[in-house]
Structure 1
Amino acid sequence: MPENAATLLTQVQDRIAKACTIARREPADVTLIAVSKTHGADAILPLLKAGQRVFGENRVQEAAAKWPALKDQFPDVQLHLVGQLQSNKAEDAVVLFDAIHSLDRPSLVAALAKAMDKAGRRVPCFVQVNIGAEEQKGGCALADLPALLEQARGAEIPLAGLMCVPPADIEAAPFFALLDKLARDHGLEGRSMGMSGDFETAIMLGATHIRVGTALFGGRG
């Protein structure tokens, strides 16, 4: 992690503010998730000290190894799971995370509902949509979205919104616009979309949560 963590954070915040100005939105309506996957505590601490409080991790096991100690120092941190979640890790995820961005199949709905009941804790979830119909990616197929949302609501899983990862090397805007429309059609407030290279576009098309790693941390840890 470069020593100028505060500078990098300010640069990203400035980009958010400029995009919000163009979109006639308030920067406070966009949550910056600093994606700290593969980065250790020594890389995360400078951002924490610079004031960043929402972080994202891809793997339950990695997050469990490094975040409890960090949360002891910074108890107001919010931790989001932004990577794929195996059903057998649902219990751990419900205990550790404050939001889950990768709910994408009926079996995971069942596992999360059971885990939330056991923990006595309801964790807001974004339903991940396979917005580009890519076989290699996780996410709910567009045709299956209404049924999955109905199942999640029936299981009393709090739905924060929808999440997507557009296809690489293709203009992201149409996919962001589609996710925004799907969220509106289904009465959902959250849109988790946009990363380091395209979050301005995502903000202009309705993103409420952006997942930024490289612009804050540089390369992988």
Structure 2
Amino acid sequence: MTLASVQSRIDAALAAAGRSAGAARLIAVSKQQPLDRVEAALIAGHRLFGENRVQEAAGKWPDLRTRYSGVELHLLGPLQSNKVNQALGLFDAIQSLDRPSLAQKLASAVQKRGHCPMLFVQVNTGEEPQKSGVIPDNADAFIQQCRSMDLTISGLMVIPPLDEEPTLHFALLAKIAERNGIGELSMGMSADFETAARMGATYVRVGSAIFGDRAQS
């Protein structure tokens, strides 16, 4: 599969669901990918990318951004509290807001900077103990807690359990978003991005289907 074919499949899924073209944006997940593959996507005109680790992004993207204008970068992986300031300097969106202590750190840092990236609350819809994210029963209260700190929550993000039907998790995320007045939904990866696009995703996160297998760290 290629970047162009993934985009075509997203477009077809949106059309089949009666959604407008461009309603779901493609995040090319470039974590642990060789630089030449990432640059190939940039040369092809793609500008929206996702990384899982602050340190990896810091070693890759400042230089790329000097050579390719208009890049938008999202943090998809867990954010350690001691890397908040570095993350705010690197990312246009943080999709892994998942605990009160991180919200407090972000609120303090954002107040000092006077600028806040897009923030997504990660919801652990499968309630998997090994996975980050607030559980669904706590999501409403956590969103309100973030808002009470003057953090604007732009979206919700989910990574469904591998062995479960993703549509159930996508539908649950959409319900949480609707009742909290949240418009952005980050859901769907290489195996299920078309389903996510049909079910209301505004961002889909695709890595291996675009770039091939990741480099081993």
- Report the TM-score range of the alignment, normalised by the length of the smaller protein: over 0.9
Between the aligned partners of 1:181 and 1:144, the Cα distance in structure 2 is: 14
Contact 1:40 1:66 in 2 (8 A): no
Contact 2:174 2:200 in 1 (8 A): yes
More deviation in 57-66 or 113-122?
Answer: 113-122
Contact 1:123 1:157 in 2 (8 A): no
Unaligned runs of 5+ in 1: 1-6
Between the aligned partners of 2:31 and 2:6, the Cα distance in structure 1 is: 18
Contact 1:82 1:102 in 2 (8 A): yes
Identity of aligned residues (%): 50
Between the aligned partners of 2:150 and 2:47, the Cα distance in structure 1 is: 27
SS of 1:28 mapped into structure 2: coil
Number of equivalent positions? 215
Between the aligned partners of 1:175 and 1:154, the Cα distance in structure 2 is: 27
2:34: which partner in 1? 40
Deviation at 1:75, TM superposition (A): 2.5
TM-score under structure 2 length normalisation:
0.96
Letter in structure 2 aligned against 1:149: I
2:200: which partner in 1? 206
Letter in structure 1 aligned against 2:173: L
SS of 2:205 mapped into structure 1: strand
Letter in structure 2 aligned against 1:135: P
- List structure 1 segments (4+ residues) > 2 angstroms apart after TM superposition: none
Instruction: Determine if the alignment matches structure 1 residue 165 to structure 2 residue 170.
Output: no
Instruction: Determine if the alignment matches structure 1 residue 30 to structure 2 residue 24.
Output: yes
Between the aligned partners of 1:18 and 1:64, the Cα distance in structure 2 is: 35
2:184: which partner in 1? 190
TM-score under structure 1 length normalisation:
0.94
Between the aligned partners of 1:27 and 1:165, the Cα distance in structure 2 is: 24
Unaligned runs of 5+ in 2: none
Between the aligned partners of 1:111 and 1:40, the Cα distance in structure 2 is: 32
Give the counterpart of 2:169 among 175, 178, 184: 175
